[in-house]
């Protein structure tokens, strides 16, 4: 039971939430205002809307469908390296989008490994560019996420139930009906909704692999309307659609989403008595191998290509890496300043409705926020001077929902377990935060900070909208190198970016896990 | 003296009323069927559950005081120690709501730990010691808190019978040393005999006034008879 006397973030939480809502609302109002009320989408806008929804549906459906056999195989087989593989499934979440795309190009691109193989067999090459490339990249990111979510559902089933199934002598089909089907119906809708929502606001993937009338997402269309044509009415109309769509999907996801994996390492050994033998064992092995190959090959290809280029990176890459680190640090600090009071407030709240606030970040399209703030800043200052601040802010908003997902349960647990004790000892307000809440939520704090830092380091979004030619974050610099067909240098920058993102996450997460 | 004037706690369909007083330095157990509101009564006294009526402690009205400012020390069913803090820090929090202690305060915390038989374990964390030792550490904090009213919400329920009796005796001794009034929720009739003093029987929405434990248990009224199964 929540009591008045053991609540935290009572005023700072709502204040932070209002601030977030204000940031998004002001941007949106600015876009609407400068848009001048003409909200017709036009044929190109309609095509972008159609493509955005269809690619998100396809990406979510494929990710979830392919994840089911992989999760199932992982859940019931134990083999050397299983724990490592499960941990690696968490990696794409913090892998910079542009890095992964370059890796995918190295495998599936014109001169990639697949086409080299096809050519050797005398088969026609495949192209990674276009709608299917966008979906491929989205599946690359979200298949591991879906696998982890479903695997988590499996791990949540008590071992006794598997034992019971075995003692009843249930065959594979009966075991599926009794054990696995309920897991899937519990996890799959949420996983689907989450991936759908995430893919709706896809920008960097579409920027590189998509484009043109047949593969432009709304985010990309907003970017093009703004950056190339400075057509504010169109940007406004597109933003309105994007916001409605993303907010709807986020609301759907709130209903359906299972608790996200907090940290890598769902390492529980599978102890399944019902694991079928014979050809099914081989099939499981093949499924796991294919899944692992899909995840690891692009990274391996990138490393092979980029590592040699690391030594000869142009100075502009190093400079942009420095910029990126600054943005990430600012973004993480900003995210924590918002997430901590909000998480405290949500954890103290009687109703779960406050949690919806956390999804504001998911609902808001980074490009819309960027466009809006560009409009707001423009009359008073040079928006380019604000590039890094706006980028850091938008990155913080993007990481906010995930940070809340990690922090809220931790704060709630502490409040339930030690809240009354703290109140009876006079540990209230700042003293409670300092002595109780923060030390006990240290693992989640480290995870959230690492996640935000990694996401911010790897983000290519708003910065592309604002930045002047002499300004760049590392992902933007990478995109410019790719645009100039300096692929070796781009691969080198990608390896550097990947190393920075993983190191940032690892350092923060490790800090969180180290006992005080 | 603890005085409850027309206390009424309403939580949804559930109501609990109490209108009685308990003399200073008295000991009392609170018994009754599960769900009758024993813990709710203690939570209201400690300032965690909103209620109507007036609570005074040694003549002071504490009805609206915060949990920390009403002269009450409380032990909960569980979570009586912060798992990330050492025993010394946990006990130290009984004196001041901060982790840094003055040398005098640290001495006092050490003495309190020694009094409950935990000398030498000051730097351990709750996870590293046994359940009985955790109970002792929580009691050490009670000692330094030195509050006029001590509320216990079945803090030793998870311990074995012998250890539990030991903890009850220690609790009673410590309450005697600090001069605190002791009010303890329990579901074990054996605890009633062990603590002695008074009994508050909670049943059917009413916390009955304290009655002499020995006399009451010797000749329980109908409702208490039904609860005890005798």
Using CB atoms, pick whichever of B73, B79, B99 lies closest to residue A435.
B99
Confidence of residue A271 (pLDDT cuts 50, 70, 90): low
User: A6: nearest CA in chain B?
Assistant: B48
Contact B82 A418 (CB under 8 A): yes
Q: Does B123 touch chain A (CB under 8 A)?
A: no
Q: What 3-state DSSP class applies to B75?
A: strand
Q: Does the pLDDT at position A3 exceed 60? A: no
Q: What is the DSSP string of A104-144?
A: HHHHHSTTSHHHHHHHHTTPPPP---SHHHHHHHHHHHHHH
Q: Does the pLDDT at position A187 exceed 90? A: no
| Strand B2-11 versus strand B206-207 pairing type | unpaired
Q: Which of A459, A449, A339, A482 is nearest to A388 (CA)?
A: A459
Contact A424 B73 (CB under 8 A): yes
Q: Which of A407, A306, A285, A404 is nearest to A355 (CA)?
A: A404
Confidence of residue A164 (pLDDT cuts 50, 70, 90): confident
Q: What is the pLDDT of residue B54?
A: 95
Mean pLDDT, residues A353-366: 69
Q: What is the pLDDT of residue A374?
A: 86
Could you identify the residue written with the tokens 């307000």?
A: A429
Report how far apart, in Å, the C-alpha atoms of A39 and of each of A34, A50, A236, A419 are: 11, 17, 7, 50
pTM recorded for the entire structure: 0.86
Q: What is the pLDDT of residue A274?
A: 57
Window from A80-84, A224-228, A278-282 with minimum mean pLDDT? A278-282
Confidence of residue A280 (pLDDT cuts 50, 70, 90): confident
The residue ranking higher by pLDDT, A172 or B136, is B136
Q: Does the pLDDT at position B143 exceed 70? A: yes
Confidence of residue A255 (pLDDT cuts 50, 70, 90): confident
Alpha carbon of A510: minimum distance to chain B alpha carbons (Å): 17
Q: Does the pLDDT at position B100 exceed 80? A: yes
Provide the token pair at A241. Answer: 């659609």
Window from A91-105, A367-381, B108-122 with minimum mean pLDDT? A367-381
Contact B98 A426 (CB under 8 A): no
Report how far apart, in Å, the C-alpha atoms of A129 and of each of A132, A206, A219 are: 7, 9, 18
Sequence-ordered list of residues with C-beta below 8 angstroms from that of A83, at least 6 positions apart, any chain: A265, A267
Q: What is the pLDDT of residue A293?
A: 92
Q: What is the pLDDT of residue A267?
A: 41
Mean pLDDT, residues B97-112: 93
Confidence of residue A357 (pLDDT cuts 50, 70, 90): low
Contact B93 A435 (CB under 8 A): yes
Nearest-angstrom CA–CA distance, A85 and A407: 26
Contact A5 B73 (CB under 8 A): no
Q: Does A5 touch chain B (CB under 8 A)?
A: yes
**Which of A421, A438, A442 to mutate: most B Cβ within 10 Å?**
A421
Taking only residues 180 to 199 of chain A, the set having a beta carbon closer than 8 angstroms to any beta carbon of chain B reads none
Q: What is the pLDDT of residues A77-127, one digit of tens each?
A: 888 888 888 888 888 888 999 999 999 999 998 888 888 888 888 888 888
Sequence-ordered list of residues with C-beta below 8 angstroms from that of B120, at least 6 positions apart, any chain: none
Q: Which of B46, B228, B201 is nearest to A420 (CA)?
A: B46
Q: Which of A298, A357, A317 is nearest to A101 (CA)?
A: A298
- Residue A222 near residue A285 (C-beta atoms within 8 A): no
Whether ipTM exceeds 0.85? yes
Q: Does the pLDDT at position A191 exceed 60? A: yes
Residues of A in contact with B155 (CB under 8 A): none
Q: Does B14 touch chain A (CB under 8 A)?
A: no
Mean pLDDT, residues B177-184: 93
Q: Does B77 touch chain A (CB under 8 A)?
A: no
Provide the token pair at B122. Answer: 């000051």
β-pair partners for B182: B27, B150
Contact A440 B93 (CB under 8 A): no
Alpha carbon of A3: minimum distance to chain B alpha carbons (Å): 6
Q: Does B68 touch chain A (CB under 8 A)?
A: yes
Provide the token pair at A246. Answer: 């993303």
Cα-flanking dihedrals φ and ψ of residue B102, to 5°?
-75, 160
Q: Does A440 touch chain B (CB under 8 A)?
A: yes
β-pair partners for A395: none
* Average pLDDT of every residue of chain A: 86
CA pseudo-torsion sign A362, A365, A367, A369? negative
Nearest-angstrom CA–CA distance, B1 and B56: 8
Burial of A189 (0-12, 13-18, 19+ CB in 10 A): middle
């Amino acid at each position: 039971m929540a009591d008045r006397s053991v609540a935290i973030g009572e005023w700072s939480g709502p204040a932070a939430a209002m601030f977030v809502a204000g940031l998004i609302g002001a941007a949106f109002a600015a876009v609407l205002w400068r848009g001048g009320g003409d909200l017709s989408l036009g044929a190109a806008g309609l095509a972008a809307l159609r493509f955005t929804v269809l690619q998100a549906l396809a990406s979510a459906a494929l990710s979830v469908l392919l994840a089911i056999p992989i999760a199932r195989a992982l859940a019931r087989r134990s083999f050397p390296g299983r724990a490592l593989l499960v941990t690696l499934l968490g990696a794409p979440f913090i892998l910079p989008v542009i890095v992964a795309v370059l890796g995918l190009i190295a495998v599936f691109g014109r001169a990639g490994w697949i086409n080299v193989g096809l050519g050797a067999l005398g088969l026609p090459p495949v192209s990674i560019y276009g709608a299917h490339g966008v979906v491929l990249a989205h599946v690359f990111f979200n298949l591991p996420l879906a696998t982890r979510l479903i695997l988590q559902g499996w791990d949540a089933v008590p071992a006794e139930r598997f034992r019971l199934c075995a003692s009843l002598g249930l065959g594979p089909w009966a075991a599926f009906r009794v054990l696995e089907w309920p897991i899937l119906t519990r996890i799959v809708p949420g996983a689907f909704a989450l991936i759908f929502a995430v893919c709706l606001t896809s920008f960097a993937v579409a920027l590189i692999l998509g484009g043109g009338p047949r593969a432009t997402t709304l985010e990309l269309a907003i970017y093009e309307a703004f950056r190339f044509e400075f057509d504010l009415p169109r940007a406004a109309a597109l933003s309105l659609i994007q916001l409605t769509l993303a907010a709807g999907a986020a609301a759907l996801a709130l209903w359906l989403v299972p608790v996200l994996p907090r940290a890598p390492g769902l390492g529980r050994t599978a102890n399944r008595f019902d694991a079928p033998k014979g050809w099914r064992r081989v099939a499981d092995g093949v499924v796991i191998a294919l899944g692992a190959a899909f995840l690891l090959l692009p990274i391996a290809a990138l490393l092979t290509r980029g590592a040699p280029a690391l030594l000869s990176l142009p100075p502009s890459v190093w400079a942009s890496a420095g910029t990126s680190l600054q943005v990430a640090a600012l973004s993480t600090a900003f995210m924590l300043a918002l997430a901590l009071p909000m998480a405290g407030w949500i954890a103290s709240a009687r109703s779960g409705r406050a949690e919806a606030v956390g999804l504001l970040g998911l609902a808001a399209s980074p490009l819309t926020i960027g466009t809006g703030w560009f409009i707001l800043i423009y009359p008073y200052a040079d928006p380019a001077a604000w590039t890094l601040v706006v980028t850091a802010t938008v990155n913080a908003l993007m990481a906010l929902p995930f940070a809340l997902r990690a922090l809220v349960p931790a704060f709630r647990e502490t409040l339930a377990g030690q809240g009354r004790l703290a109140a009876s000892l006079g540990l209230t307000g700042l003293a409670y935060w300092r002595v109780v809440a923060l030390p006990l939520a240290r693992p989640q704090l480290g995870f959230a900070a690492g996640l935000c830092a990694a996401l911010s380091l790897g983000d290519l979004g708003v910065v592309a909208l604002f930045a002047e030619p002499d300004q760049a974050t590392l992902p933007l610099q990478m995109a410019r190198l790719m645009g100039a067909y300096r692929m070796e240098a781009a691969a080198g920058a990608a390896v550097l970016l990947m190393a920075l993102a993983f190191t940032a996450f690892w350092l923060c997460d490790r800090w969180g896990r180290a006992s005080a | 003296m603890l005085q409850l004037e027309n206390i009424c706690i309403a939580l949804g369909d559930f109501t609990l009323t109490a209108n009685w007083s308990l003399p200073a330095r008295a000991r009392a157990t609170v018994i009754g069927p599960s769900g009758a509101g024993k813990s709710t009564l203690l939570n209201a006294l400690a300032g965690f559950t909103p209620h109507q009526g007036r609570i005074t402690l040694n003549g002071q009205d504490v009805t609206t005081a915060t949990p920390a400012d009403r002269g009450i020390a409380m032990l909960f069913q569980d979570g009586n120690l912060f798992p990330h803090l050492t025993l010394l820090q946990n006990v130290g929090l009984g004196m001041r709501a901060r982790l840094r202690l003055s040398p005098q305060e640290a001495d006092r915390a050490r003495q309190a730990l020694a009094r409950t038989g935990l000398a030498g374990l000051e730097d351990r964390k709750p996870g590293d010691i046994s359940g009985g030792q955790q109970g002792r550490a929580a009691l050490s904090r009670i000692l330094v808190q030195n509050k006029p009213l001590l509320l216990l919400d079945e803090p030793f329920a998870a311990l074995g019978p012998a250890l539990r009796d030991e903890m009850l005796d220690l609790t009673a001794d410590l309450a005697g040393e600090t001069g605190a009034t002791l009010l303890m929720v329990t579901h074990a009739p054996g605890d009633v005999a062990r603590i002695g003093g008074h009994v508050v029987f909670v049943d059917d929405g009413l916390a009955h006034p304290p009655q002499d434990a020995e006399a009451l248990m010797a000749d329980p009224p109908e409702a208490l008879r039904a609860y005890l199964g005798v």
